[in-house]
Amino acid sequence: MANHLYPVVMSQPPRYDKTDSFSYPADTALPGWLESLPAGWRPYAMLARLDRPVGIWLLFLPCVIGLAFQRLSGGLFLADLAWAVLFLIGAAVMRGAGCTWNDITDRDFDAKVSRTALRPIPSGAVTLKQAYTFLLVQLGIGFGVWLMLPGDAKITALLALPLVAVYPFAKRVTWWPQAWLGLTFNWGVLVGAATASVITGPVYILYFGLVLWTVAYDTIYALQDREDDALIGVRSTARLFGKRAVLISFCFHMGAAALIALAGMFNDAGRIGAFTALVFLVHGLWQTMTLKTQGEKSALRVFKSNVWAGALVAAGFLFAALLPERAPESIFAAPAVAPPERAESVSLPFGFELRRKPEPKSDVWLVREIRAAMELRGLDPDATETPPER
């Protein structure tokens, strides 16, 4: 639904009606799918944002990127498919838990914004007690996924919980909630890397590159709410950057591409890694040109396209892990260095000399037999004869 159906700031939010197909939040992506669910399930599906799967993909893809990135040296394993399925389940439930917690803390703000006024809590479809219960259920499923992770990945995943808990309050105290979201949403890179092996320096470079990417795409997403956020006092980089928001978001995209390329270089991603970073940058350029030509009305569509941007990075590192590059064989390869010549003899004190034993002749077909026959006849097989003069 379009944002103009409700006033920008409302003293009383519209109430949720289970029988009205138009009573869903204005930013729902799958209203038809919601209507196919039993009426009692719909508010909880909206609370977990299952009708808006973009966030699940943006949380899942960094996990795959981190896993593939640390498989560059040794290649992929069949077990990695199981890890990917586990990451997908974990991303779905933990993203839902994060959105539920966000809606609990933001219920007063959501009630005043047209795009979010019909979310389950401000509309009355779900009570606060029911929301907390649903949050615990999702955390319980996430705990089951956590138990299946390797030891290092378990510890890494636990360290993300403070970031998730604090995020809803970031937009009240800083102009950079998008950066906090980037630190939170891309933590899966570290979890994926810890699942594959260990977290190395290049993994941190990759992580901060994806953090810059999140600042770029969430700034684009926040363009939809700039006017509403200004009226209710919510801060964002979209408001901070003002008229240059699109240009600055592309600068963050360029920084992300540079760090992705740098991480790939340090981790031997080769030409495939460099090409991956280049394609990622081209996609960021397309986003910028689309926003410049079509205006901020295209912000939601451009934001959703970042699923493909993340998929490009994941696919690039997966291919690099599957297809390791051979050593270069061209005129641009590193010059071959001839081994130093070995001395035939070494001088010792008191006039002694240590001579190296001559290397045996190469043994080819019948040579050994011919030499043995010559020695039996009293001939020297190493002697060189000069042909008689005529």
Q: Domain for residue 341, yes or no?
A: no
Same domain (yes/no): 298, 357: no
pLDDT above 90 for 240? yes
Q: Domain for residue 277, yes or no?
A: yes
Q: Domain for residue 231, yes or no?
A: yes
Residues near 115 by beta carbon (within 8 Å), at least 6 away in sequence: 3, 25, 26, 27, 224, 225, 228
Section 43-65 average pLDDT: 93
H or E segment and range at residue 355: strand 353-355
Section 81-99 average pLDDT: 95
Report the domain count for the chain: 2
| 7 in Cβ contact with 30 (< 8 Å) | no
| 10 in Cβ contact with 108 (< 8 Å) | no
4 pLDDT tier (thresholds 50, 70, 90): very low
| 110 in Cβ contact with 165 (< 8 Å) | no
Structural domain range at position 359: 348-375
Dist. CA 49–CA 78, nearest whole Å: 31
Q: Domain for residue 385, yes or no?
A: no
Q: What is the CATH number of the domain that holds 181?
A: 1.10.357.140
Same domain (yes/no): 91, 220: yes
| 91 in Cβ contact with 188 (< 8 Å) | yes
Same domain (yes/no): 283, 365: no
pLDDT above 60 for 364? no
Same domain (yes/no): 359, 271: no
Same domain (yes/no): 359, 242: no
| 310 in Cβ contact with 316 (< 8 Å) | no
Q: Domain for residue 201, yes or no?
A: yes
Record the tokens describing residue 63, joined without a space.
């996990």
| pLDDT the model gives residue 137 | 96
Same domain (yes/no): 31, 175: yes
Same domain (yes/no): 313, 360: no
pLDDT above 80 for 62? yes
Most confidently predicted of 161-165, 195-199, 256-260, 385-389 = 256-260
pLDDT above 80 for 126? yes
> Chain-centre distance of CA 364, in angstroms?
56
Dist. CA 35–CA 26, nearest whole Å: 15
Mean pLDDT of the chain, nearest integer: 84
Same domain (yes/no): 251, 360: no
Least confident of 73-82, 167-176, 178-187, 228-237: 228-237
Same domain (yes/no): 82, 152: yes
- Higher-scoring residue by pLDDT: 35, 339: 35
Section 343-350 average pLDDT: 62
- Higher-scoring residue by pLDDT: 159, 335: 159
| pLDDT the model gives residue 11 | 47
227 pLDDT tier (thresholds 50, 70, 90): confident
Q: Domain for residue 245, yes or no?
A: yes
Residues near 371 by beta carbon (within 8 Å), at least 6 away in sequence: 381
